[in-house]
């Protein structure tokens, strides 16, 4: 296929050619960035969370008398554990992805608190059976003993009097990179420290707390005896029982504490709510991409049809002097390929520029380069697909057209 005549013909149609190039360039730039954003958001929603998400129900109890908590909580837990199907239940101060939570700065020594070396972490606290209720996966060391729960109470400052702590793997690596965390001390405040007895697989925090993805797994777990401040219960059951168990649990707590405001939620609903914004953004981006590609394709169809109509006579002449249908078809396909190539070339530069801008202003990360050729190929295919119908129509122009009204 010779390119020379195609270029010569395009030179006669500068404006439509330029329009197609521009449209493809814009589509390519937007597509790259939109697909990248979609990928990022989906990645965000899929961050690992090593708890039994399918089997957990969460019951928040608010508005009770905090001074009665050490009597109320054991009574409630007893009742919850009697519900058929409950495999574990404990009182908690908060839940992963719950939205609001308890965050604190920790250090590896009292001196480096409040410095750059003191990351902000989520401070989970739970009563006995807490690790079982979440299904924490122990990687190193041990879990808490019964005595450690019993000996730990909350002071007025809401810090447990325990001396032991579990940390997530990410937090252990953040605090002691390359070392074993077991036996090390974590300081919360200048006076309080806890010894790491175990490392568990990564559990998400209630919220990102402005730390982005990096700090999303920085959590620690402290044991406490039933105490004020433990405003929620977790019940764990087999996934198929969870709805029934949660309903029963809410009813039990409501009947035990009539003055309280009780609210039960499945963990899967908590997760859905946490990522609701992200999910709707993903759908919106997908919608924009699809409609945008459709509009681009229709634009190509429209302009190429116009061209075909305009060149009927020339096509007829070519056919009359010996060009086959295949030649005509190829002509339009090559033409479209050239225009698309120019479009994606500009589009890739534009996409890169947009990505740089987004990195500066919207906490976006650098787009991996594979997105550029991938969306280029997508637009090439789209162009070829769009041009097919008009090109076939062109190929069907009979040679006899050439002999009419020249």
Query: Which residues of the shown chain bind another protein in the complex (CB under 8 A)?
Result: 15-16, 19-20, 22-23, 26-27, 29-30, 34, 37, 62-63, 66, 114-115, 156-159, 188-190, 192, 208-210, 212, 229, 259-261, 273, 276-277, 280-281, 284-285, 288, 291-292, 295-296, 298-299, 302-303, 305-306, 309-310, 358, 361-363, 405
Instruction: State residue 221 phi and psi, 5-degree precision.
Output: -130, 130
Closer to another protein by CB, 2 or 67: give it.
67
Q: Cα(257)–Cα(224) distance, rounded to whole angstroms?
A: 22
Shortest spacing between CB 123 and another protein, in angstroms: 12
Residues 6 or more apart whose Cβ sits within 8 Å of residue 314: none
CA distance 398 to 108: 84
Q: How far apart are CA 89 and CA 132, in angstroms?
A: 8
Residue 63, φ and ψ in degrees, nearest 5:
80, 20
**Assigned token pair, 362:** 């919207």
168 or 296, CB closer to another protein? 296
Q: How far is the CB of 196 from another protein (least distance, A)?
A: 20
CB 205 within 8 A of CB 101: yes
Which residues touch 28 (CB under 8 Å, ≥6 apart)? 343, 344, 346, 347, 348, 350, 351, 375, 376, 379
In the complex, what is the shortest distance from the CB of residue 313 to another protein, in angstroms, rounded to a whole number? 10
126 versus 307: smaller Cβ distance to another protein: 307
Query: How many Å apart are CA 402 and CA 208, to the nearest integer?
Result: 70
As measured in angstroms, the least distance from the Cβ of 194 to another protein is: 14
SS3 194: strand
The tokens 């006669």 sit on which residue?
12
CB of 82 or CB of 277, closer to another protein: 277
Q: Which is nearer to another protein, 2 or 115 (CB)?
A: 115
CB of 73 to another protein, least distance (A): 17
CA distance 143 to 63: 32
Rounded least distance, CB 276 to another protein, Å: 4
Beta carbon nearer to another protein, 140 or 275: 275
């Amino acid at each position: 296929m010779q390119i020379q005549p195609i270029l010569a013909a395009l030179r006669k149609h500068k404006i439509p050619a330029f329009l197609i190039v521009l449209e493809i360039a814009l589509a390519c730039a937007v597509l790259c960035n939109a697909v990248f954003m979609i990928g990022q958001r989906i990645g965000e929603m899929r961050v690992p969370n090593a708890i039994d998400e399918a089997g957990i129900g969460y019951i928040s109890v608010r508005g009770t008398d905090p001074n009665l908590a050490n009597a109320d909580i054991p009574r409630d837990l007893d009742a919850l554990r009697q519900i058929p199907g409950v495999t574990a239940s404990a009182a908690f101060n908060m839940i992963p992805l719950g939205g609001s939570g308890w965050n604190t700065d920790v250090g590896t020594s009292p001196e480096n608190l409040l410095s750059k070396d003191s990351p902000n972490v989520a401070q989970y606290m739970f009563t006995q059976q807490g690790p079982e209720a979440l299904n924490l996966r122990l990687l190193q060391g041990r879990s808490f003993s019964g005595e450690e729960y019993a000996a730990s109470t909350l002071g007025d400052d809401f810090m447990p009097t325990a001396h032991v702590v579990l940390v997530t793997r990410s937090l252990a690596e953040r605090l002691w990179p390359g070392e074993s965390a077991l036996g090390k001390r974590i300081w919360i405040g200048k006076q309080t420290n806890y010894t790491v007895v175990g490392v568990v697989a990564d559990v998400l925090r209630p919220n990102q707390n402005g730390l982005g993805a990096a700090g999303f797994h920085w959590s620690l777990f402290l044991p406490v005896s039933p105490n004020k401040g433990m405003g929620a219960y977790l019940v764990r059951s087999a996934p198929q029982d969870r709805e029934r168990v949660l309903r029963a649990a809410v009813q039990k707590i409501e009947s035990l504490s009539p003055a309280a405001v009780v609210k039960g939620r499945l963990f899967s609903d908590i997760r859905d709510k946490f990522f609701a914004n992200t999910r709707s953004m993903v759908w919106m981006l997908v919608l924009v991409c699809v409609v945008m590609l459709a509009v681009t394709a229709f634009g190509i169809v429209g302009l190429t049809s116009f061209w075909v109509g305009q060149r009927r006579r020339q096509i007829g002449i070519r056919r009359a002097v010996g060009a086959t249908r295949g030649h005509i078809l190829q002509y339009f396909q090559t033409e479209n390929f050239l225009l698309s190539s120019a479009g994606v070339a500009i589009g890739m530069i534009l996409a890169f520029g947009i990505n740089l801008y987004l990195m500066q202003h919207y906490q976006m990360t650098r787009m991996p380069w594979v997105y550029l050729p991938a969306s280029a190929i997508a637009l090439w295919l789209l162009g070829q697909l769009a041009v097919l119908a008009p090109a076939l129509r062109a190929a069907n122009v009979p040679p006899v057209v050439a002999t009419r009204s020249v």
